[in-house]
Amino acid sequence: MERRLFLKGGLAAAGGAGILPFLKHLPAHAQGRGDTLVVVTGFGPNSMDIMRVGANRPAYQLSINLYDQLINFAVVEQPDGTYAYDRDTLVPELAESWEIADDGMSVTFFLRKEAKFWDGTPVTAEDVKWSFDRAVLIGGFATVQMRAGALEKPEQFEVVDEHTFRVHYLKPSKLTLPNLAVPTAVVFNSKLVKAQATAADPWASDYTHTTPAGSGAFKLERWDSGQQTVYIRNDDWTQGPLPGVRRVIIREVPSAATRRALLERGDAQFSIELPPKDAAEMQAAGRVKVAGHPVGCCQYHVGMNLKFPPFDNVLVRRAVAHAIPYEDIYNLAAFQRGVPLWGGESATPAEAVWPQPAPFRTDYDRARELLAEAGLPNGFETTLSINLGLADWQEPTALLVQEGLARVGIRTTIDKIPGANWRTRALIEKDLPLHLENFGGWLDFPDYYFFWVLQTDRLFNSFNYSNPEIDALTDSVLHLPVDHPDYEPTVKKMIEIVWQDVPMAPLYQPYLDMGMSQNVEGYAYFFHRLLDARRLSFA
C-alpha cells in the first residue's frame, strides 16, 4: 500500500517559466559556489524580530541563526541515521556553564568571555538581562512563552557581574531551563537597540523589525520581504563550531511544484517542509535526501469555533468528529506521512502523552443521529477555512472533509485565506467557525500543549474554547515534574475532558519532511520546525 501511494501520480514538474524567475533573482556570485546554500520555502518571515507582536513562524528562523541563546538542546543520532534534538539534554551556547542553587530556586549562568556582538561589542550579563526584561514585558507571543516557564518579572533576572547572570525562580518548574533554549529566549545587543528606543516604542521593535542586533553564527546580509532572506557567516562566532556554509539564501517560492523542481534539478540544495506527496515520491525516487520526523506535541485537526452556532453545541461538534473521512485524509492528503490520531479504543486515555489517538472514527450514521439530537436533522451551512500558506495539506484535506460532512447534511464553502492573513484571522480575531489548524509545542509535554491551545483566551486557541476545569487542571500540573504522583492522573483527566468537549477533531500527527541534495550534511530535526543552518555543510 505504501509503495503504491509513493509512486501514484508520478513526479511533479515545473517548467522553465517557474525556474527562470528564481534564477534571475539569485546573486550572480551565489550560483555554482560550494560555500553557498540555496534554500526554498513556501513563505518567509514578516519580521526580523521574534519578539515583535505579530511576528510569524518563519521569523523564528531568524532567531535561531542570527541570535544566540544562553543554552540549547543537544542533538542525537536517531535509529534511522538522521538527527534530532534531545528534549532532556541541554548544552552550552552563550553560557559556557551553569549551576542550579541547592534550594532549586535559582540558576546561575557563566557567560563566555570571548563572545561578541556583530559590531564587536562584548556580550555581557547586562545584555542578557535587558533581553529577558524585554521578553517578559513586550507583550504578545514572546511574553506568554516566557510565562510558560514561570519567567514573568524583570526582578527574576539578576546581573551578578559582567559575565555572570542569575535567574530566580518564582516556583520550581520543569519548564524553566528548557524554556531558555527556545527561539524567544535570545540575547540582543542592548546598547545598540536601546539607542533606537522612543517613548512610543520603548523596546525599539520598529528598529529590530528590519535590523537584527545579534551575536549569532550568521549575520543578515539582505532581506527582501516576500522574496528572500540572505545570511552571511559570522566568522568571529565562538559559541560553537563555525557553520560549514558561508552564505545561506532562503528564497520564497509559493509553488510547491516549483520548489520540488528546483531541488531535483540542483538549483536549490534544501527545501523546507516538503508537502507529503512530494516527500513520499522523492523518498521513493532516491535522487535527493528526505529527512522525516514526527512533529512532537503536534496534531493536525479540524477546529470548531464555539462562539459560532451551531458549534456551540457539543452534539454538533461530536457529529462533525464522526463525519470526517479519516483514512481517506491520511492516505490521499497526508500520503501516510504521519501518525494516525483517530480510532482510539477508549474515551479514557491510557497514557499521559500528547498527541494520542482520540475515540473518534468515521461513522456517518452516528453523525446523523447526533445532528438530529441537536435539532438539526437536515444539517446546516457553514464555511471551512484553510490557510493557503499550508495549501499542500490543507487544500486536499478540506476537499475530503467537505465531502464527508456533505454526507450528513453539513454543507460547507471552502474559504481560502492567504497565509499572510491567517494568523490575524485564526489566532487574533478568532473569527473562523470551522477551520483546519495545527500547533506544535516547543516543549514536548501534554500540559504545555494545553497551556497554549486549550486554556481560555490563549493565542493558539482558535476555537474560543473555555472550560474552567481545564484552565485549573492545566495550571496545577504545568510546572510539576512528570514523576510527581499528581501529574499522570491529572493529565489523563485533562485529555478525557477535551475528548468529551471536542473543540477539535484530531486527524494525524504530521511528519516534518525536509528535502536536501545528497551532498548536504548535518541537518537535525528541531521542535521549531525550521532550519538551523549552523549545522549544515557540504560533503
Taking only the tens place, the pLDDT of each residue in 305-332 is: 999 999 999 999 999 999 999 999 999 9
pLDDT at residue 24 tops 60: no
169: cell is 525562580
Q: Where are the alpha helices (DSSP H) in 67-162?
A: 125-137, 141-148
Query: Angle 454-459-464 (CA atoms, 0-180°, nearest 5)?
Result: 55
Query: 115 near 68, Cβ under 8 Å?
Result: yes
Q: Show Cβ contacts of residue 79 under 8 Å, excluding neighbours closer than 6 positions.
A: none
Report pLDDT digits (tens) over 131-171.
999 999 999 889 999 999 999 999 999 999 999 999 999 99
Query: What confidence category does residue 19 fall into, taking pLDDT thresholds of 50, 70 and 90?
Result: very low
Q: What is the dihedral of CA 114, 118, 121, 124, to 10 degrees?
A: -60
Q: Which three cell numbers stand for residue 150?
A: 514561570
Give the strand pairing for 270-271 and 36-41. Answer: parallel
pLDDT at 32 over 60: no
pLDDT, mean of residues 9-20: 35
Residue 57: what pLDDT? Answer: 85
Q: Using CA atoms, how far apart are residues 188 and 204, in angstroms rounded to an integer?
A: 11
Measured CA to CA, the distance from residue 177 to residue 141 in angstroms comes to: 18
Question: What mean pLDDT, rounded, does the chain reach?
Answer: 92
The pLDDT value given to residue 33: 56
- On whether the CB atoms of residues 263 and 283 are closer than 8 A, the answer is no
Pick 298-510's CATH classification: 3.40.50.1390, 2.40.37.10, 3.40.50.1110, 3.10.105.10: 3.10.105.10
Under 8 Å CB-to-CB from 343, ≥6 apart: which residues?
326, 357, 359, 360, 361
Closest CA to 121 of 231, 216, 234, 215: 215
Residue range 280-309: mean pLDDT, rounded: 96
Cα–Cα distance measured from residue 414 to residue 401, given in angstroms and rounded to the nearest whole number: 10
pLDDT at 165: 98
pLDDT reported for residue 22: 47
Position 43 confidence tier, pLDDT thresholds 50, 70, 90: confident
- Output the pLDDT for position 317: 98
Q: Which residue, among 249, 314, 250, 299, has the nearest Cα to 35 in the 3D structure?
A: 249
SS3 364: helix
Alpha helix segments (H runs only) across 407-480: 419-422, 446-453, 468-477
**62: closest CA among 52, 70, 71?**
52
| Cβ atoms within 10 Å of 78's Cβ, excluding its own | 12
Would you give the DSSP letter of residue 59? G
- Write down the H helix ranges in 240-390: 256-265, 276-285, 314-322, 326-328, 364-373
Q: What's the whole-model pTM score?
A: 0.87
Instruction: Note every long-range contact of 341-350, with CB atoms under 8 Å and residues 24 or more positions apart, other chains counting.
Output: 341/299, 341/506, 341/507, 341/508, 341/509, 342/506, 342/507, 342/508, 347/496, 347/499, 347/500, 348/492, 348/496, 349/492, 349/495, 349/496, 349/499
- The DSSP call for residue 278 is H
The identity of residue 66, as a single letter, is L
| pLDDT > 50? residue 347 | yes
Q: Where are the alpha helices (DSSP H) in 138-271?
A: 141-148, 176-179, 190-194, 205-208, 256-265
Provide the residue ranges of all domains of the chain, joining segments of one domain with +: 298-510
- Radius of gyration in angstroms for the set of CA atoms belonging to the chain, rounded to a whole number: 23
* pLDDT average, residue stretch 508-536: 95
56 band by pLDDT with thresholds 50, 70 and 90: confident
pLDDT in tens, 80-121: 788 999 999 999 999 999 999 999 999 999 999 999 999 999
Q: Are 325 and 362 in contact (CB under 8 A)?
A: yes
